[in-house]
Structure 1
Amino acid sequence: MLDGRTKEFLQEALDGDRLITFLVGAGTSADSGIPTFRGKEGFWTIGSKNATPQSMGTKKMFDVNADEVWRWFLYRISICEQAKPNLGHIALSSIEKRLGARFALISQNVDGLHFRPESLINNLYLIHGDLRYMRCADECSKALYAIPLFFREQIRSRETPLTFDEKQKLICPKCGEMTRPHVLWFDEYYNEKYYHLDTTLRIAKSTGLMIVVGTSGATNLPQRLVERTLSRNGKVIDVNPETNIISDKLRGLVHGHYLQGKSTEALQALEEYLGERG
């Protein structure tokens, strides 16, 4: 499914010595059955009211109703834990093995599928956090604490209540306050401490080719990463089923290209192409 311009960009990148960076989003996990939770799957009923993902996944909502926010996130965690890496995840792992130190993966996904044995990525930067972890909501330390295995193995439904015993497992072991999911909420900003802001911007500066897969670029940092790559004469390929914010940015640029396609199929095709060239 790779067109001529995509192959041209790939070959130029392989002949060079700069990074080949992948920037991926929720589309790469769609074939694993994980919904984006931005649509109808993310709506949540609290009493007689329906809450949107943009209101549930916020510090503001957590401060008002921490139990309900945790119940929403534990439902999400349950879905992610039952999911398996798809062929796109596995292709990315194979690509890293081929490219070695020239590979970088910047992921917006919090589902943990990049850490499974068959899809393991080493040079990985999670810019939206990681649902496998929680941290103190009062920021008493920089420590991250693993979500109790009890939560991760249990299949939860939307109706599963948060019990007193479960709430005790969500207490910060250092200060005794409530923990929060280790994710970037809709009303928060990127930073280096938790979300690799400065590091990923430096990676973009050193990138000869950035391949954007499965994200519309609706948040600020992915757009900045694309712009930073282009500003240093790097090339950018956006791979998505439909045009989006990033493909619009690339339109008409000598160093930009939009390739229409699905994430899994595109990543497999890219892995095959790279394999043919050693």
Structure 2
Amino acid sequence: MNKENTLFITGAGISAESGIPTFRGEDGFWTIGSRNYTPMEMATRHMYQQQPEQFLAWYYNRFITYRHHAENDVHRWLADKNLITQNIDGLDGKAGNKNYIAIHGRIDKMTLYHTQGEPVEVIDAPWDQVDDQRLNQSLMHLFNIKNTPTLNESYKPFVLLFDEYYTDLYRIDEALSRMEQADKMVFMGTSFSVNITNMAMDIAMRNEIPVEVVDPDPVILPYAKVKYHKMRATDYIQHHD
């Protein structure tokens, strides 16, 4: 059994078996852009501000079409664990985890468009009201955007974009606290290519706690106290019940 202070940190590989593409695989979200822009250009606050119609249509087609996918055995196994996920699909919540941290946001939520760092409520996103026959106009209407977003009037998907930073909206202070209190960290299905995994590894090395990496092709980390499990998360959980 895992100790209560083992912290699990998950990435896109966890949801691949639910039929959701990873971010950097051959068919990943970050390999498929719009007609004129790369994913790294599309998934930005700048694009939302300057070309909200294109941003919302791209976001809807790349992410929201997966909103009805179901959780898998790994999500269910993690349901009672101390968990931080990089995933925005919300499947850990569907699996029953009541207090996981979705450090990059969730596709089923939105917020008022606000200056980062200001307190704001996270509310349900109206995806089921979208008219696919008039997609762009429908999205602009539902997010209360005329030509460009208006602060504290328009809405923005609850997702951390490339040119944004972690704030209390994404529970960053609580995430860092969980890292500091952990006596072990287990990384599952992550490529270690985002800031949150770097933060976690810095804390793990400073506190000299053991780390486990679960991935068929794991990133090799510059730390002596790492145990690698070169397997899928579904295989890992079968040996750790």
Cα displacement (A) at 1:130: 0.9
Matches within 5 A, 1:69-218: 69-93=55-79, 96=80, 103-116=81-94, 119-139=95-115, 142-151=120-129, 161-171=134-144, 177-191=153-167, 193-218=168-193
TM-score w.r.t. length of structure 2: 0.85
Deviations, residues 170-204 of structure 1 (Å, cap 9, x unaligned) = 128x977331111111112222x122222111111
In the alignment, the residues of structure 1 paired with residue 75 and residue 40 of structure 2 have an alpha-carbon distance, to the nearest angstrom, of 27
SS in 2 for 1:45: coil
Q: Does 1:239 align with 2:217?
A: no
Cα displacement (A) at 1:259: 1.3
Higher RCO (Cα < 8 Å, 6 or more apart) = 1
In the alignment, the residues of structure 1 paired with residue 151 and residue 195 of structure 2 have an alpha-carbon distance, to the nearest angstrom, of 33
Query: Which has more helix, going by share of residues?
Result: 1
In the alignment, the residues of structure 1 paired with residue 181 and residue 8 of structure 2 have an alpha-carbon distance, to the nearest angstrom, of 13
Alignment-mate amino acid for residue 195 of structure 2: N
Residue 209 and residue 150 in structure 1: after superposition, are their counterparts in 2 closer, same or farther (change >3 A)?
same
Match of 1:267 in 2: 237
Cα displacement (A) at 1:206: 1.0
State whether residues 92 and 267 of structure 1, in contact with CA within 8 Å, keep that contact through their aligned partners in structure 2.
no
Alignment-mate amino acid for residue 128 of structure 2: F
TM-score w.r.t. length of structure 1: 0.75
In the alignment, which of 194, 197, 208 is matched to residue 219 of structure 1?
194
Residue 234 and residue 176 in structure 1: after superposition, are their counterparts in 2 closer, same or farther (change >3 A)?
closer
Gaps of 5+ in 1: 1-9, 97-102, 273-278
Gaps of 5+ in 2: none
SS in 2 for 1:229: helix
State whether residues 204 and 226 of structure 1, in contact with CA within 8 Å, keep that contact through their aligned partners in structure 2.
no
State whether residues 86 and 104 of structure 2, in contact with CA within 8 Å, keep that contact through their aligned partners in structure 1.
yes
Residue 204 and residue 165 in structure 1: after superposition, are their counterparts in 2 closer, same or farther (change >3 A)?
closer
User: Structure 1 residue runs of 4+, over 4 Å off?
Assistant: 37-41
Match of 2:33 in 1: 44
Count of residue pairs the alignment pairs up? 232
Cα displacement (A) at 1:82: 2.7
Cα displacement (A) at 1:40: 4.4
- Structure number with bigger Rg: 1
In the alignment, the residues of structure 1 paired with residue 97 and residue 55 of structure 2 have an alpha-carbon distance, to the nearest angstrom, of 30
In the alignment, which of 48, 51, 70 is matched to residue 62 of structure 1?
48
Residue 205 and residue 176 in structure 1: after superposition, are their counterparts in 2 closer, same or farther (change >3 A)?
closer
State whether residues 88 and 268 of structure 1, in contact with CA within 8 Å, keep that contact through their aligned partners in structure 2.
no
Residue 70 and residue 199 in structure 1: after superposition, are their counterparts in 2 closer, same or farther (change >3 A)?
same
